[in-house]
């Protein structure tokens, strides 16, 4: 059993007052708050460890490099990757997807096909549209069923020897659907396609093992895992990453440079041109330590309990409709109340200290699918409580009253 | 005092009566509900100002030296603010609209709602109203 009040004490921002009320932070799908250990690690880095990585012979450069690489090993263990050089540090999930999509521009030709799904975040749509535009490949989109899960029959019908890459999210940021990625990976790889999983909404909630999962690429952002912003992970299988052309040229990513021919560095440096967000990477380790100490399975169990409670309670509000009712769901509840605009609801509950997200959540195709302008979204994290859910429900009722 | 300035002063006075955010928001909701409807034929793609959060439609007509604005929004709180802006700037001479300083926004505590970061279409709405005024003034 997790001691939630003890966990909450580790997050200084959770004691913030908004408009005189206690902050209720339900926008964890956008970004989670940071525990003191992460904040301390980031500032400690600049106070005591700052230097550039992999570049100097001096004491501090060695120290910074060690710390930086320590996080790589931590991530390797956290996601069960075979090699540490399969872990690439990026700016975030969007950056990770763009690195792969940009590489595939030269790997794909006319007649090749990429499959994504209707529930993807724009950052798992647009890079592939750009990739198709430049390579001549075709984009196919797995449709959604009414409950917010993927139409797996349509998916299987799309698969052919032309399928070169499938990129889908592990968990939908808008609907909370946990996609059957094991099955997607198995079916796609059976026709020789590579599979990329956008794990932005999953890595803080589901324990991962890359070796048993078998995904070719998997990516996520540190800031949705209680870590700093501006740091992301691109995991790729060694051989797949070796085949992928580099994304950016610059320092650190080269083996030899001459004006006749430049050769690229080995993994992971081939994809890490320029000085990275060293402080962020170093502090990310503290975030992973925070999660590991609590235990991802404990976190998942607690969040499942919260999700169930929140779902039952919000449905007691008359006229409230939840979008995304798949059987397998993570701690995200997207909803509308009657014909009320989600923006109005969000503005009113904000005044009562409650942070929810409103709008299309960077998933306009989902909004189009359900023919709505947007939704209000509650997204949960380990520090949330049932009391906070009660406060939110009351605020929603008040908003409904004011707006009806 | 110009008419626009006078209307602004009246709005500031109205808002001065509210003790808390709830009263203020309820007033905005009322204003939104009372806003004279825009003609359906003017709710076109051309007249749509897309915000990330809410959408605003704005139509302008130039008659007898004045610009008549009609508008709508899909979010009622946004529509309430739209109503205030219409109240201030509609039925005024193009020159007055183009040069109007909208100081009242700060004074009634709606600065946040009218900041470019809010993505509710309101900042673009003001900009568009001014552009109409400049165009009709020439």
| pLDDT tens for each residue of A144-192 | 999 999 999 999 999 999 999 999 999 999 999 999 999 999 999 999 9
- In this complex, the residue of B29, B52, B76 whose CB is nearest that of residue A359 is B52
Residue among B55, B75, B122 with most chain A CBs within 10 A, to mutate: B75
Within chain A, which residue ranges are assigned CATH 3.40.640.10? 40-292
Q: Is B77 on the interface with A (CB under 8 A)?
A: yes
Do A278 and A89 meet the contact criterion of CB atoms below 8 Å apart? no
pLDDT at A400 over 90: yes
Confidence of residue A365 (pLDDT cuts 50, 70, 90): very high
Tell me the C-alpha distance between A342 and A174, whole Å.
Answer: 14
Report ipTM for this prediction: 0.88
- Alpha-carbon gap: B68 to the closest alpha carbon of chain A (Å): 27
- Alpha-carbon gap: A355 to the closest alpha carbon of chain B (Å): 15
Q: Where are the domains of chain B?
A: 3-137
Q: Which of A14-23, B21-30, B51-60 is least confident?
A: B51-60
The second-level CATH assignment, the architecture, of A40-292 is 3-Layer(aba) Sandwich (3.40)
Do A274 and A248 meet the contact criterion of CB atoms below 8 Å apart? yes
Instruction: List pLDDT tens digits, range A368-395.
Output: 999 998 999 999 999 999 999 999 999 9
The predicted pLDDT at position A55 comes to 75
Q: Is B90 on the interface with A (CB under 8 A)?
A: no
Tell me the C-alpha distance between A183 and A179, whole Å.
Answer: 9
Confidence of residue B116 (pLDDT cuts 50, 70, 90): low
Only one residue has tokens 């994290």, namely A381
The predicted pLDDT at position A256 comes to 86
Average pLDDT, chain A: 96
Edge-to-edge strand ranges of the sheet holding A163-169: A87-90, A232-236, A217-221, A194-198, A163-169, A113-117, A138-142
**Residue (of A21, A31, A25, A26) closest to A13 by Cα position:** A25
Check CB contact under 8 Å for A343 and B53.
yes
The predicted pLDDT at position B112 comes to 72
Of B1, B17, B22, B52, the catalytic one is B52
Instruction: List pLDDT tens digits, range A82-123.
Output: 999 999 999 999 999 999 999 999 999 999 999 999 999 999
Q: Is B21 on the interface with A (CB under 8 A)?
A: yes
Instruction: List pLDDT tens digits, range B41-64.
Output: 999 999 998 776 788 999 999 999
Q: For residue A373, list chain B residues with Cβ-Cβ distance below 8 A.
A: 54-55, 74
**Residue (of A404, A350, A379) closest to B112 by Cα position:** A350
Do A244 and A115 meet the contact criterion of CB atoms below 8 Å apart? no
- In this complex, the residue of A358, A373, A402 whose CB is nearest that of residue B26 is A402
Q: Which of A19-28, A161-170, A375-384, B15-24 is least confident?
A: B15-24
Q: Is A197 helix (H, G, I), strand (E, B) or coil?
A: strand
Q: Which of A79-93, A261-275, A290-304, B110-124 is least confident?
A: B110-124
Is B62 marked active-site?
A: no
| DSSP labels, A286-313 | HHHHHHHHH-HHHHHHHHHHHHHHHHHH
Interior angle at CA A96, CA A117 and CA A116, nearest 5: 10
The predicted pLDDT at position B76 comes to 94
Task: Give A177's strand partners.
Answer: A329
- How large is the average pLDDT for residues A193-222? 98
Instruction: List pLDDT tens digits, range A229-283.
Output: 999 999 999 999 999 999 988 888 888 888 888 888 899 999 999 999 999 999 9
Fold of A4-27+296-403: 3.90.1150
Sign of the C-alpha dihedral computed for residues A158, A160, A163 and A165 taken in this order: positive
**Residue (of A39, A17, A14) closest to A28 by Cα position:** A14
Q: According to CATH, what is the number of the domain B3-137?
A: 3.90.1010.10
**Judging by beta carbons within 10 Å of its beta carbon (0-12, 13-18, 19+), is residue B122 exposed, middle or buried?**
buried
- How large is the average pLDDT for residues B62-73? 94
Residue among A30, A337, A338, A341 with most chain B CBs within 10 A, to mutate: A341
- In this complex, the residue of A19, A343, A403 whose CB is nearest that of residue B54 is A343
Q: Is A261 helix (H, G, I), strand (E, B) or coil?
A: coil
**Judging by beta carbons within 10 Å of its beta carbon (0-12, 13-18, 19+), is residue A147 exposed, middle or buried?**
middle
- How large is the average pLDDT for residues A194-222? 98
| DSSP labels, A136-195 | --EEEEEPBPTTS-B-HHHHHHH-STTEEEEEEESB-TTT-BB--HHHHHHHHHHTT-EE
Do A138 and A114 meet the contact criterion of CB atoms below 8 Å apart? yes
Tell me the C-alpha distance between A346 and A337, whole Å.
Answer: 12
Tell me the C-alpha distance between A140 and A165, whole Å.
Answer: 10
Strands B48-50 and B55-63: antiparallel
Q: Is B118 on the interface with A (CB under 8 A)?
A: no
Within chain A, which residue ranges are assigned CATH 3.90.1150.10? 4-27+296-403
Joined together, the tokens standing for residue A321 give 């409709």
Check CB contact under 8 Å for A402 and B53.
no
The predicted pLDDT at position B120 comes to 67
pLDDT at B86 over 70: yes
The torsion of the CA quartet B47, B50, B53, B56, rounded to 10 degrees, works out to -10
- Alpha-carbon gap: B2 to the closest alpha carbon of chain A (Å): 33
Interior angle at CA B63, CA B57 and CA B66, nearest 5: 80
Confidence of residue A26 (pLDDT cuts 50, 70, 90): very high
Check CB contact under 8 Å for A341 and B74.
yes
Check CB contact under 8 Å for A348 and B76.
no
Q: Is B26 on the interface with A (CB under 8 A)?
A: yes
Only one residue has tokens 């006319």, namely A110
- Alpha-carbon gap: A342 to the closest alpha carbon of chain B (Å): 8
Task: Give A336's strand partners.
Answer: A321
The predicted pLDDT at position B118 comes to 65
């Amino acid at each position: 059993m997790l001691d939630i009040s003890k966990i909450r004490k580790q997050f200084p921002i959770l004691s913030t007052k908004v408009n005189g009320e206690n902050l209720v932070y339900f926008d964890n799908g956008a970004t989670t708050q940071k525990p003191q250990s992460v904040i301390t690690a980031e500032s400690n880095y600049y106070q005591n460890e700052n230097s550039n990585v992999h570049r100097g012979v001096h004491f501090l450069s060695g120290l910074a490099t060690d710390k930086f690489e320590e996080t790589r090993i931590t991530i390797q263990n956290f996601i069960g990757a075979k090699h540490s050089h399969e872990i690439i540090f990026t700016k975030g999930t969007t950056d990770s997807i763009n690195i792969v999509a940009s590489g595939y521009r030269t790997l794909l030709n006319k007649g090749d096909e990429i499959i994504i799904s209707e529930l993807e975040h724009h950052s798992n749509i647009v890079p592939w549209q750009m990739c198709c535009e430049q390579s001549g490949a075709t984009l196919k989109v797995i449709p959604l069923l009414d409950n917010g899960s993927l139409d797996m029959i349509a998916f299987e019908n799309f698969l052919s020897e032309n399928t070169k890459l499938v990129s889908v999210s592990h968990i939908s940021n808008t609907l909370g659907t946990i996609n059957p990625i094991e099955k997607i990976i198995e079916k796609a790889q059976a026709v020789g396609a590579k599979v990329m999983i956008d794990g932005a909404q999953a890595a803080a909630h589901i324990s991962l093992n890359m070796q048993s999962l078998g995904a070719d690429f998997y990516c996520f952002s540190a800031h949705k895992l209680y870590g700093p912003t501006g740091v992301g992970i691109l995991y790729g299988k060694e051989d797949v990453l070796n085949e992928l052309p580099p994304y950016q040229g610059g320092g650190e990513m080269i083996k030899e440079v001459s004006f006749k021919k430049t050769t690229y560095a080995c993994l992971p440096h081939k994809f890490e041109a320029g000085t990275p967000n060293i402080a962020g990477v170093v502090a990310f380790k503290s975030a992973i330590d925070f999660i590991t100490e609590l235990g991802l399975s404990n976190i998942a169990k607690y969040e499942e309990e919260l999700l169930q409670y929140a779902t039952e309670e919000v449905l007691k509000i008359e006229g409230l409709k939840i979008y995304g009712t798949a059987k397998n769901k993570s701690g995200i509840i997207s909803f509308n109340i009657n014909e009320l605009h989600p923006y109005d609801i969000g503005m009113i509950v904000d005044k009562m200290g409650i942070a929810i997200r409103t709008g299309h959540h960077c998933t306009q195709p989902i909004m189009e699918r359900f023919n709505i302008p947007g939704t209000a979204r509650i997204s949960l994290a380990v520090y949330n409580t049932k009391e906070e859910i009660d406060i939110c429900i009351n605020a929603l009722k008040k908003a409904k009253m004011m707006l009806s | 005092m110009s008419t626009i300035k006078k209307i602004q002063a009246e709005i500031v006075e109205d808002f001065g009566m509210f003790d808390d955010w709830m009263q203020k928001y309820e007033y905005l909701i009322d204003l939104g509900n009372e806003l004279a409807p825009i003609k359906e034929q003017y709710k076109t793609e051309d007249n749509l100002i897309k915000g990330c959060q809410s959408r605003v439609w704005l139509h302008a007509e130039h008659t007898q030296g004045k610009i008549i604005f009609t508008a709508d929004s899909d979010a009622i709180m946004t529509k309430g603010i739209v109503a205030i802006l219409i109240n201030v700037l509609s039925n005024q001479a193009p020159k007055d609209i183009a040069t109007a300083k909208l100081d009242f926004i700060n004074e009634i505590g709606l600065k946040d709602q009218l900041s470019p970061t809010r993505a509710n279409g309101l900042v673009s709405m003001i900009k568009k109203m001014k552009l109409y005024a400049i165009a009709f003034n020439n």
